[in-house]
Structure 1
Amino acid sequence: MTPDDFALFARSLPEPLCLLNGQGEILAANPAAGRLFGLDVPALRGVQLSELVADSREKCENSLRTWAGSNEATPGALRVRSADGELLPCHGYGNLVRARSGDSPALIMLRLARREKFTRSFSALNDKVTLLRQEITERRRVELALRESQRMLQLVLDAIPVRVFWKDREGVYLGCNRNLARDAGLENTEQIIGKNDYDLGWREQAELYRSDDRLVIESGKPKLNYEEPQTTPDGAQRWLRTSKIPLRDVGGGIFGVLGIYEDITDRKMTEEALRRSQKMEAIGRLSGGIAHDFNNQLGVVIGYLDFMRNHVAHEEKPRMWVDTATKAVLRCMDLTRQLLVFSRRQPRERAVVDLNILLREMKTMIARSMTPQVEVQYFLADALWSTEIDPGEFQDAILNLVINARDAMPKGGKLLIETSNKFLDGGYTALNPGMKPGDYVQLMLSDTGTGIAAENMERIFEPFFTTKPEGVGTGLGLAMVYGFIKRYGGNIKVYSEPGVGTTIRMYLPRATGEAVTGSMDHARQATLPGGDERILIVDDETDLLQLAEQYLKDLGYRTRTAENAAQALRILADDRDFDLLFSDVVMPGGMNGYELAQQAT
């Protein structure tokens, strides 16, 4: 029995009763005892019995020991002085009540005029205490069962792989499961009780969450499966899929809201990466198709400019006009070449290379591309793995990145170029479609330039997108780099902070063969051969067809032309006396150049 239990039991009894511990300290008393001593009941708590009796401390301690060891009502030899000065006998019974924790037995003290009345009163009191014990035992059993049920419910909630919480009408948390407590940066679920969303790590979204709570409570209807952001205690951003329903009491009244959400950040990142990949693929196909057609027309222009140059070779002004026009067309052809590089899905020439060797060969070129105010530092890993790429494309990609870094540091700065070996696991590749877990060679370029604004990060790989001033750059540099990396099964990541700088990490798959050594310079001069062989020329672009025929005739060859694959096959059916088939690859009509060559042979 606790002091509270005793006070509840004894408060309506007419006899003055006190609950004492084995040392004689009053733990509880009823109003009759308070009136006896002329004190409020709270004032009696903590008072020593020796302070109330008229006998010696030794006699008081002896009586306490007697009462504590007795199982029957024991008349006391002690006398207490009432508020009006009367000396009254004090009687005790030790084993009626035992402390819950197993401490010294509690003692009942009461005032009675005669022993007979004391004994009868204690007999009735004993019956009441017995009933009280039974009631307390049952109540404890129910309390233990309730606590066990609550413990099992909390274990179930903690095992659920989502976040669960419940709040009152004012948005104050009444409880949660372990996953939500962890999200909130709390050590256990009890710490959330009494807090609201403004007290937790996601205070930036607190008003948004409260608005949803009020909507559910006021409408009495659930709000299900909607997405919302959440800021973590360390400042990161995650995405949630949330559902909330109103909590009702037995009378049907709404007293709060129950919520559940799951973290869908990884799924959102995967979807976003896939969307970006599909967008870049669509842009590549579109730009590649346009560049191919445009390049054909430019080929006609540049071809006839070459003819005109031969006809005006001895006339200064017309020759100057032809040269100027040729330079303009070549610039246009360079743009279309870059677009075609971006859109091309198949690599050109592959070679197993060591990126460290390629970078060392490019040091002079990189240094000349920089301003004197920019310091270039190299951190090239020992025993770097090989990768299989086109060295020429790699050189173009590096120069584009270096020039971008230079332009981002007009007042100078540092450019760091670093290589390393990396293993990318399934978690990384799941968030980057098109990649497979495994070994990769990492190339990192990091500058201390102006950085890239967050709103532009989404578009940096799009062809023709640029933040540079008009006339500076084409917006194709990063698009070419993106196309290069993707063609060889790699990935590229850009991290940037305005005013701090930009870091670009590229990952290329590890190759199993031995890296080639030596220079990668493929430049060579070639002399066009002449002859008198017969050549069948096939192209759906009439202007290009005529241009090719003119070039080959000037070299002495005998030619015949066809505007599509079907026409070429009809010619070959009647005349097989050709030494060479010279065909465009991409042609309408259901048959391309490769298929034509297979049927022709």
Structure 2
Amino acid sequence: MQTDLRHLAEQLLRDGTVMAPDLNGIDLDGLVHELYVYHAELVVQKSELEAAQAEAERSRNEYAQLFHYAPASILFLDRRGVIREANQTAARALGADAGAVRGKPFTAFLAGGDHAAFHRHLRSVLGAGHRREFPARCVRPGGGGFPAEVVLEWWPMSAPGEPRAAAAVRDVSDRAAAEVARRAAAEAERRAWEQTRATLDALPAQIALLDPAGAVVAVNAAWRRAAAARPAAGDIGAPYLDVRAGIWAGTRAADERHVADGLGAVLAGTAAEFVFEYLYGTHDGPRWCRLVVTPVRADRVTGAAVTHTDVTERKAAEQALRFRERAITSADQGFVICDFLAPDRPLIYVSPGFERITGWAAADVTGRNCRFLQGRDTDRAAVDRLRAAQAAGEACAIELLNYRRDGTAFWNGLSVSPVRDETGRVTHYVGVLSDVTARRLLDEQSRQGQKMEAIGRLASGVAHDFNNLLTVINGYTEILLAELPPGGRAHQLLREVWSAGERSAGLTRQLLSFSHKQVLRPQDLDLNAAVAGAESLLRRLIGEDIQLVTLPGADAGAAHADAGQLQQVLMNLSINARDAMPTGGQLTIRTGAFDLGADHPRARLGAPPGRYATLSVSDTGCGMSVEVKGHLFEPFFTTKGVGKGTGLGLATVFGVVQSSGGWVQVESEPGAGTTVCVYLPQVAAPAPPPEPPPSTRPPRGAETILLVEDEDGVRALSRCILTACGYTVLEACDGAEALRLARAQGPSIQLVLTDVVMPGPSGREVAEEIRGRHPATKVLFVSGYTDDAVVTRGVFQDQMHFLHKPFSPDALALKVREVLDAP
């Protein structure tokens, strides 16, 4: 019943009418109730429907918004490819608004070459429901276009009988540009690699690229040339250490192990680089190789680059450079380099030799101009010549007085040469310094010796003539003194004449000693004994206000010299020392020994290497300046007042020492005293001197004597003395007359008493001819000097006898008797 009422109510509300019979027997109240209930349900359903419709509209609007403003270009196409709907994104992409796009075929927006492909893909999608993607080029009505990727897919919400396809169009311009960029990058990378390969092939070093395991992945042309004995392609993929054994044979096993360790450290990332230089064998001999292994990195070590470089020439150059450096370091000379372009031309290098010569350390002078070596006595003109040569870009060699760091002076033999760049511009100067102080002193002494030799020749001639006169004067004076009674006035006056003659004879001896023309009687003299023997005489010479100190050296030994000359040397040096200490002081005589090496400057000037006895005389006097020392040994040079010095003292010392095979060295500074050191060749200890014979009257004889003398006065005196002694005297005024007499008299002549130097045949020639005829004839030579072969460097021949002028009557008589009685 309830159901009927509900059905009736729905009918009344749906149709508005009801048939009368249908109401028969109906519960009208129940019907009304059902009507009210159903009406209420309808109201609710209407409300829900309206809400659903509103939601559907809102969803349609949202969809439309999503569709039109989606970031992707979306179109709906019918089976002919006509655009039925397009969103705003697609319209903008195609260059039109949505209304203008609708109704147009999609091919209107495709390049002509893409039409066939589009229709083919569209049929496949609509016919079989396949999804198709294909590239195309979209064009815009106003011109232009873009590369696109088109996706076609069947649209499931198509109306029956009207299948549609959804199309999505993606602008792939960025992707295309990226692809172009990628391809360009790949091409650039390819070209870069080709360029790199070409560069690597052009390099002389042998280069290989290794992978992380140490296998070879690429090699350059130099590597391929090194592997010419076998194909280099076989190296690719092979372990590098195995490849080495085939190319670099002859490497030491220890070196190979070191290479393996270094390579492993680089590939493991524990070493930033491995560098090793080693020797390996070739057919041409051993060569030096420099191996460099560097890692190839990305975010980790991905391999290594191996470089082999032949450094044999560089090693040879380095060795030569080290040798030159050792040579420069070992050289006595100093080497300096100055930067000629820098302000003040500073030193940029000084050698150890420079440090030894100057006392300046390299660190103290680098960066300074070398003028710090100059001082108050440096020759400005020489410095100017040096600067002028440098300004002209020329080499220059000069000698300058320079000063060491401690202030002592030395003579610097300086040679400078320019160093030029490739354009010829002078960039540096190289200087070579030599300490030539000793050589200059020796040169000065050599020049002094030459001057003395020249003056000596003049002095010897004068002394010879003077000796002849003194022989006559002193000889006749002694004869007269012997005949006059002592004590008388005449005897006293003659005694003064004789004393003056003896003093004059001493002066001639000095002149002859200075000129090397004195007849010497050298012998082996104990130097300490000679000094001790002269000590008392020297004390009287120097006076009481000067203290005499003798310091005999145990190693002084003996020297071969003339005793009288050695005493003369001691006296002259002591007198000079005394005169340098007018207010008193100390005079020290010291003896010792000195070993002269072959590399000593004195040896290079001719002094024989060996052991020398030394005799030095030192004073505490005023000393000497450099200028005075420069004239020290000049004859007649004196710093003493008029009448107080002859200027022959040191000149005589120089001559005596030089004639004995030695040399003199002087050290002196103003206010610091003077030391004169004499060097004489040392000999073995001398034998003890023989006891002097007892004094006797001049001996007599009856033999025949041939007297040969070109000086009339001397010849007359000699005849007087000899005839007074009972001898028969034959006189000859020159050598020619002597030979005539000898031929006439024959063997009756027992003694030839002859001068040495005469006009015509000399005394030696006369003696040799007479002794050649009569060997038993004795010979006695007489002279004031001699250059003759009878005396050679002061050494007598054993079988010859000599008497020096001036001689006394007793000396002549004794010597004649000695020669006649000799075996």
Bucket of the pairwise TM-score, normalised by the shorter protein: 0.5 to 0.7
Change (3 A) 1:328 1:228: same
Partner residue of 1:407? 579
Q: Is the 8 Å Cα contact of residues 216 and 244 (structure 1) preserved in structure 2?
A: no
Q: 2:467 aligns with which of 295, 316, 338?
A: 295
Cα deviation per residue 1:123-157 (whole Å; 9 max; x = unaligned)? xxxxxx99xxxxxx9xxx9xxx99x9999979857
SS at match of 1:175: strand
Partner residue of 1:534? 704
Cα deviation per residue 1:217-242 (whole Å; 9 max; x = unaligned)? 654x4144444443333333132242
Partner residue of 1:258? 429
Q: Is the 8 Å Cα contact of residues 710 and 734 (structure 2) preserved in structure 1?
A: yes
SS at match of 2:683: coil
Change (3 A) 1:554 1:159: closer
SS at match of 2:448: helix
Cα distance, 1:525 vs. partner? Answer: 4.4
Q: 2:413 aligns with which of 230, 234, 240?
A: 240
Change (3 A) 1:439 1:545: same
Q: Which amino acid aligns with 1:594?
A: R
Partner residue of 1:372? 544
How far apart are the structure 1 equivalents of 2:486 and 2:440?
Answer: 67
Q: 2:351 aligns with which of 154, 163, 178?
A: 178
How far apart are the structure 1 equivalents of 2:379 and 2:706?
Answer: 75
Q: Which amino acid aligns with 1:559?
A: V
Partner residue of 1:561? 731
Q: Which amino acid aligns with 2:759?
A: P
Q: Name the larger-Rg structure.
A: 2
Cα deviation per residue 1:65-124 (whole Å; 9 max; x = unaligned)? xxxxxxxxxxxxxxxxxxxxxxxxxxxxxxxxxxxx97xxxxxxxxxxxxxxxxxxxxxx
Q: 1:417 aligns with which of 589, 601, 607?
A: 589
Partner residue of 2:338? 166
Structure 1 residue runs without a partner (length 5+): 1-100, 103-128, 131-136
Q: Which amino acid aligns with 2:706?
A: L
Cα distance, 1:195 vs. partner? Answer: 2.3
Q: Which amino acid aligns with 2:730?
A: R
How far apart are the structure 2 equivalents of 1:330 and 1:216?
Answer: 61
Give the structure-1-normalised TM-score: 0.64
Cα distance, 1:579 vs. partner? Answer: 2.9
Change (3 A) 1:206 1:157: farther
Cα distance, 1:329 vs. partner? Answer: 3.2
Partner residue of 2:672? 500
How far apart are the structure 2 equivalents of 1:206 and 1:324?
Answer: 55
Alignment of 1:593 with 2:760, yes or no, is no
Q: Which amino acid aligns with 2:752?
A: L
How far apart are the structure 1 equivalents of 2:384 and 2:631?
Answer: 34
Cα distance, 1:583 vs. partner? Answer: 0.9
SS at match of 1:358: helix
How far apart are the structure 1 equivalents of 2:588 and 2:514?
Answer: 25
SS at match of 2:749: coil
Change (3 A) 1:164 1:380: closer
Count of residue pairs the alignment pairs up = 458
Cα distance, 1:570 vs. partner? Answer: 0.9
Q: Is the 8 Å Cα contact of residues 277 and 433 (structure 1) preserved in structure 2?
A: no
Change (3 A) 1:492 1:597: same
Alignment of 1:411-490 (within 5 A): 411-428=583-600, 430=602, 433-490=605-662
Cα deviation per residue 1:332-366 (whole Å; 9 max; x = unaligned)? 22211222233346874444343333333443333
Change (3 A) 1:537 1:480: same
Q: Is the 8 Å Cα contact of residues 346 and 487 (structure 1) preserved in structure 2?
A: no
Does 1 or 2 have the higher relative contact order (CA < 8 Å, sep 6+)?
A: 1
How far apart are the structure 1 equivalents of 2:673 and 2:655?
Answer: 23
Q: Which amino acid aligns with 1:477?
A: G
How far apart are the structure 1 equivalents of 2:635 and 2:383?
Answer: 43
Change (3 A) 1:479 1:432: farther
Q: Is the 8 Å Cα contact of residues 384 and 421 (structure 1) preserved in structure 2?
A: yes
How far apart are the structure 1 equivalents of 2:676 and 2:465?
Answer: 33
Cα distance, 1:293 vs. partner? Answer: 2.0
Cα distance, 1:437 vs. partner? Answer: 1.8
Cα distance, 1:560 vs. partner? Answer: 2.2
Query: What's the RMSD between the two structures over aligned residues?
Result: 4.3
Partner residue of 1:552? 722
How far apart are the structure 2 equivalents of 1:217 and 1:488?
Answer: 47
Cα distance, 1:209 vs. partner? Answer: 8.4
SS at match of 1:426: coil
Change (3 A) 1:245 1:386: closer
Change (3 A) 1:215 1:585: closer
Q: Which amino acid aligns with 1:507?
A: Y
Q: 1:342 aligns with which of 493, 510, 514?
A: 514
* Sequence identity percentage: 31
Partner residue of 2:750? 579
How far apart are the structure 2 equivalents of 1:523 and 1:424?
Answer: 41
Structure 2 residue runs without a partner (length 5+): 1-270, 273-296, 299-304, 772-823
Cα deviation per residue 1:498-543 (whole Å; 9 max; x = unaligned)? 3332212222322224542799xx6974532334433221111122
Alignment of 1:355 with 2:547, yes or no, is no
How far apart are the structure 1 equivalents of 2:567 and 2:524?
Answer: 15
SS at match of 1:478: helix
Q: Is the 8 Å Cα contact of residues 350 and 366 (structure 2) preserved in structure 1?
A: no
Change (3 A) 1:387 1:516: farther
Alignment of 1:209-288 (within 5 A): 211=384, 215-216=388-389, 218-219=391-392, 221-234=393-406, 235-245=408-418, 247=420, 250=423, 254=425, 256-263=427-434, 265=436, 267-288=439-460
Q: Which amino acid aligns with 2:707?
A: I
Q: Is the 8 Å Cα contact of residues 386 and 398 (structure 2) preserved in structure 1?
A: no
Alignment of 1:46-195 (within 5 A): 159-160=327-328, 163-169=335-341, 170-173=343-346, 175-176=348-349, 178=351, 182=355, 187-188=361-362, 194-195=367-368
Change (3 A) 1:494 1:547: same
Q: Is the 8 Å Cα contact of residues 197 and 209 (structure 1) preserved in structure 2?
A: no
How far apart are the structure 2 equivalents of 1:535 and 1:151?
Answer: 82
How far apart are the structure 2 equivalents of 1:212 and 1:328?
Answer: 57
How far apart are the structure 1 equivalents of 2:387 and 2:510?
Answer: 56
Q: Is the 8 Å Cα contact of residues 347 and 369 (structure 2) preserved in structure 1?
A: no
How far apart are the structure 2 equivalents of 1:430 and 1:150?
Answer: 38
How far apart are the structure 2 equivalents of 1:240 and 1:383?
Answer: 36
How far apart are the structure 1 equivalents of 2:528 and 2:751?
Answer: 43
How far apart are the structure 1 equivalents of 2:386 and 2:536?
Answer: 64
